[in-house]
Homo-oligomer: A and B are copies of this chain.
């Protein structure tokens, strides 16, 4: 029904507003009132769309996650040498995060929430799944690279995938605290070095 459509799109709009609020003031620093006011609706109405404050926050997280997933997915286009595919993919993710840096704090809040007894489970599992998925995605490609003879066979693809995911996450974190860091450049340098080491081809002397 149109009703449903309206409802869903309004909910989606609310999520975006809430995301901005949470990003600015954190989970505990944001009141339901704040969100309602920012969205121009009444406090009571907010509860028509979300059961809970935590529910609202979780919705924000899901939305955030989806956006990221889209970026990652887009680069799946399997063209050219695997190494270049990975490079393109990693750079795309990094660039997307840099562009949306304003919402990055939502992430930090999710991590913190995931660590808190009581809230732990829900967010913790989601993050775990998120990272596991991304690691798998990369590991699969690395293995494909091995099969294609582009990447050394003895490389432990799972470990490397984890390290790669970590490097991106860790660079973003540093970038958040110090925006003078050039994430893209760092990522590129890093991948080049890595692949010069990984690659079966002789590194250019």
Q: A163-B190, A189-B155 are in contact. Are A115 and B111 (CB under 8 A)?
A: no
Given A109-B112, A131-B178: 20 more A-B contacts, CB < 8 Å: A23-B115, A25-B118, A26-B112, A26-B113, A108-B111, A124-B177, A128-B177, A155-B189, A156-B189, A159-B185, A160-B193, A163-B189, A166-B186, A169-B170, A169-B173, A170-B170, A170-B173, A194-B197, A195-B197, A197-B197
Chain B residues, CB < 8 A from A114 = 108, 177
Query: Given the complex, which residues of B lie within 8 Å of A182, measured CB to CB?
Result: 159
Question: Which residues does chain B contribute within 8 Å of A186, judged by CB atoms?
Answer: 158-160, 162-163, 166
Total chain A interface residues with beta-carbon distance under 8 A: 61
- For residue A145, which residues in chain B have a CB less than 8 angstroms away from its CB? none
Which of B108, B124, B159 is in CB contact (< 8 Å) with A112?
B108
Number of copies: 4
Residues of A bordering B, CB below 8 Å: 23-29, 104-105, 108-109, 111-118, 124, 127-128, 131-132, 135, 155-156, 158-160, 162-163, 165-174, 176-178, 181-182, 185-190, 193-199, 203
